[in-house]
Structure formats: structure tokens, C-alpha cells
Amino acid sequence: MSDSNLTDSQQRGVLALFRRIAPVANELGALFADRGHELALVGGSVRDVFLGRIGNDLDLTTDAHPARVLEIVRDWADSVWTIGIDFGTVGVRKGGWVLEITTYRSESYDPKSRKPEVVYGDNLEDDLARRDFAVNAMAVRLPGHEFVDPHGGLGDLSAKVLRTPGPPERSFDDDPLRMLRAARFVSQLGFTVEQATLAALTDMAERIEIVSAERIQGELDKLICGARPREGFTLLVDSGLAAHVLPELPKLRLEIDEHHRHKDVYEHTLIVLEQAIALEENGPDRVLRWAALLHDIGKPKTRRHESAGRVSFHHHEVVGAQMTKKRLVELKFPKDVVSDVSRLVELHLRFHGYGTGEWTDSAVRRYVRDAGHLLDRLHKLTRADCTTRNKRKAQALSRTYDNLEQRIARLADEEELAKIRPELDGNEIQQVLGVAPGPVVGKAYKFLLEMRLDKGMIGKDAATEALRVWAEENLS
């Protein structure tokens, strides 16, 4: 496979990736060809090969209908699943690969219905024409490796733009979810949206209302977990899409924060999201990211104008937690995500009662207990929620939080120590020494506890032996 639009090093990269995919892709391609069917690598897989970021998932497309696909792959696949079969997709696992084989489609939306109507097509070109963006509408036929790019996807890929293959109005009318997918790819790939596509998206934003909550949730979640969520959310808000799928976000634009330092709570929120992301240790943490995005959504409802021009937002964390729960439930997020994110929103201000370190041990314990398994994320959210431009103030806050974390660690250590017991209990001591309950048992217990603290665990046998020696030296 080669194409003159690619630089030499791009071509080498593409060839190397294709060599990795080829064994499985060619084998399957030959299997389909032998039975008189077409098969092509398509969509995200082709795009990602050119971007040098292929995972273990491959999207494939064929003229064979799902029942026929099942027949063809049955003896070849390690396992097969059919949850997507109503939409024309058969899933296959082979070795380390996950393959999604989708029958050529030309689906469109009934303007009033929420469900895409699935109509099978009979050729690759029509299938590519109904895909969301030109960069996702390239294909490589198998097993021959003929590159098919009728909509200039490769050019868009080097220009990093998202453009619908046909007229954008028609495309977004057929499936309004594509507008949201544009924002998702802006975040994931760092692309921009081509002008006519952007204009249609802005005009038609309201059409997103007919799309089901599950599909919207899937794209929003991919958006927030992408590399550039600020750009994705900015597109959502500026185009008017956010007003329909996440109305709490654009509403933050009107709010001035309590220190009058930031343009508005909206900008503060995007910075907090970015700062939270910078604190992640093991890749995207959706719970932390959603909590960062939603932590202040209670502010518009709780804003009060106080004397001397000050503004307050009393209990915005409580109101915000309720709003968070409502929004995430409406978007059909899993239960644990809903409860974790809303709990973090509720707790995000707790630290600010800490002042300069005057919390009692009991207050620190309560903080830890209330955060539970979310403690580590609460540390990150609280640290990220400081966007003051006053360096000294920011440093002071950060030091105060360091101090809180140290106290938490110290208390935890102390509590661990408090839990330490000798390796023999009172009954065992009485048995070993042949004595009845009394002061001797207490003394022996103290000796064993000291030894346990000095030497750690040495085992019951060694402890018994040491107790005998101690008794000989101290009791006779």
C-alpha cells in the first residue's frame, strides 16, 4: 500500500503498522474473498494507522450480511459476539485482536425518531459516503491492500480538519450525533472543524435533542477523556450544542467568582479540569475529570450579592452535587460514576475549613472517612481547584494541603501502630506459662508487645520460645 501524499517517514510508519495488522487482516480478507465477498479495513482503524496509533481493535466492513458474516467467521474466530447485530455489526476475537465487522450501510434518521434506521448497502463507496468525517471515510481493501479515499480523507488528516464527506447539513440531519462526534475528535485528535461543517453544526445544534442519552453519554465521555478536553468543550459551548447536552456548562459563563480575579467561573472550570489532568498518574481518570468539570455548577443558583460588592455562593457544593447527580443520571452514566463524581463535587470545599492547620485529629479522620475510596482524587481535585494568579497565595494553599496530607499519613501510621498486638494472646500466654489470669499475664503481654514492636512478626513458635526464656529470667 502506498500513497504519494505521504512523506517517506510516514510511509515507513504506515507500512510497519500494516505489517502488524496484515497477518490477521489478510487471512480474514482471503476467507471473505474465497466465499465471494468483499472485506475492507475502514474508519477509525485506517485513520489511526496514518496517525501511528493503532490499538488492538480493527473496524472492518463487508457486503456480506451479518448472518453470512457469522457463517464465514465461525470456524476461524476464537470467539464471536452479536450484541451489535441489529446494527449490522458482528464482533470477533482472534488472537490479541478485536475485530468489528459491519455490513455496508446507508442508514438515515427518521427526523422524529431516536433510532437510526439500518439499511444495508451493496458497495464500499456508498458505505464510505455515509460515514461521519472524511478522515473516517477511508478504506483499505483486503487482502489486496487497495487504498480507497473518495473524500480526500488523507488530505484532511494532514491538515488536521474534520469535514463531512457530503454536505454537512445532510449528514447532521441523517444522524445529529455526528455533531457531538466532531467535538469528541477535536478533543481526542487535536483536529479543528472545517468552516462549512462548523457553520452547519452551529445552525443545527438543536437537532441533537433527538439522539438517545446513551449515545450522547458515550461521546461526552470520550471527549472528556481525550487529550484536549478544553478544545472539545469549547466547541460544544460556542456552537450551542452544550446548551442541549450539558446546559450547566455554558451557564457558568455568566458567573463571577468570589475573588473577582477570573473572567468567570467557566474559565476557572476549564483551568481546574486541565490542572486536575496534569495531576493524573495512570492515564485518563474519568471520575476525576467529570468532578473537575462539574465542581462549580452549583454556583449560578447560589450566587448572592453581599455588601461591599462581594459575591457569595453559599452551599454551592451541596447544590452542585445534586445537580451533578441529576445530569449524570439523565445521561445514563453507570451508578458508581454518578455517586463518585457527585460525592467529589460535594466534598470539594471541605479542605477550605482547614485554615492554617488548626483541624483537630478527629476532623482529619472525618475528612478521610468521608472521602473513603475517593481520598486520592479529592486531594487532586482540591489542589487543582486553585487558580489564583497570586503566586504567594497559591503556594500557601499548596503548602497547607501538603500539611494536611502529612497529617493524614501520620494519623494512619499511628492507627496502624495502635492496632499492633503481640503474637500470643492472653489465653496463649496463660497456657505457655501455666498460670492463671493475674499481673504476670499483664507483664508477659507487655514483654511480647515490646518484642513485636522491636522485631516485627517472628512467628508463634519463636514468640513462645522467647516468652519461656523471658519467664525463666524474670519470674523465677
Question: In the complex with Mg ion, which residue's Cβ is closer, 44 or 422?
Answer: 44
422 in Cβ contact with 434 (< 8 Å): no
Q: DSSP characters for 76-89? A: T-SEEE-TTGGGTE
Q: Choose the stretch contacting ligand ATP; rule: CB under 6 A; options: 19-27, 131-139, 286-294, 375-383.
A: 131-139
Nearer to Mg ion, 29 or 44 (CB): 44
Residues 6+ away with beta carbon under 8 Å from 99: 24, 28, 57, 58, 60, 91, 92, 93
Q: From the list ligand ATP, Mg ion, none, pick the one residue 317 interacts with, judged by a Cβ distance below 5 to 8 Å according to partner type.
A: none
Q: Which is nearer to ligand ATP, 51 or 435 (CB)?
A: 51
Q: Is 156 in the site for ligand ATP (CB under 6 A)?
A: no
Among residues 163, 178, 268, 299, which is the contact residue for ligand ATP, using CB under 6 A?
Answer: 178
Pick from 38, 149, 156, 175 the residue near ligand ATP by CB under 6 A. Answer: 175
Q: How far apart are the first and last CA of the chain?
A: 91
Q: How far apart are CA 23 and CA 448, in angstroms?
A: 65
What are the helix (H) ranges across 295-438?
299-302, 316-330, 335-347, 361-371, 375-384, 391-418, 426-433
In this structure, the number of other CB atoms found within 10 A of the CB of residue 136 comes to 24
Regarding 44 and contact with Mg ion (CB under 5 A), the answer is yes
- Shortest Cβ 378–ligand ATP spacing (Å): 30
DSSP state of 387: -
Residues with Cβ within 8 Å of residue 425, at least 6 apart in sequence: none
CA distances from 366 to 92, 360, 383, 407 (A): 49, 10, 19, 13
What does the alpha-carbon distance between residue 384 and residue 406 come to, in Å, rounded to a whole number? 18
**Contacted entry of Mg ion, ligand ATP, none for residue 175, CB cut-off 5 to 8 Å set by kind:** ligand ATP
Residue with the three cell numbers 516468652 = 467
Q: Which stretch binds ligand ATP (CB under 6 A): 24-32, 170-178, 343-351, 445-453?
A: 170-178
3-state secondary structure of 235: helix
Residue 285 interaction partner, one of ligand ATP, Mg ion, none, beta carbon < 5-8 Å per kind: none
Window contacting ligand ATP (CB under 6 A); options: 145-153, 175-183, 322-330, 335-343: 175-183
> Which position's Cβ is nearest Mg ion?
44
Residue 19 and residue 369: Cα distance in Å, rounded? 52
Longest alpha-carbon distance in the chain: 100
What cell does 19 get?
505489517
Q: Are 103 and 63 in contact (CB under 8 A)?
A: yes
CB of 182 to ligand ATP, least distance (A): 11
Quick one: 191 or 359, whose CB is closer to ligand ATP?
A: 191
Residue number with CB closer to ligand ATP (136 or 197): 136
Q: Between 61 and 164, whose beta carbon lies closer to Mg ion? A: 61
DSSP label at residue 61: E
231 scored as a contact of ligand ATP (CB under 6 A): no
Residues 245-284 that bind Mg ion (CB under 5 A): none
All three cell numbers of 407, joined, read: 497529617
Number of other residues whose CB lies within 10 A of the CB of residue 88: 21
132 touches, from Mg ion, ligand ATP, none (C-beta below 5 to 8 Å by class): ligand ATP
- Binding residue (CB under 6 A) for ligand ATP from 29, 44, 121, 176: 44
Least distance (Å) between residue 237 CB and ligand ATP: 22
Residue 43 interacting with ligand ATP (CB under 6 A): yes
Tell me which residues in 132-151 interact with ligand ATP (CB under 6 A): 132, 136
Given ligand ATP, Mg ion, none, residue 89, with its beta carbon under 5 to 8 Å by kind, binds none
How far apart (Å, rounded) are the C-alpha atoms in residues 224 and 231?
Answer: 10
Could you list the residues that contact Mg ion (CB under 5 A)? 44
The residues binding ligand ATP (CB under 6 A) are 43-44, 59, 131-132, 136, 175, 177-178, 222
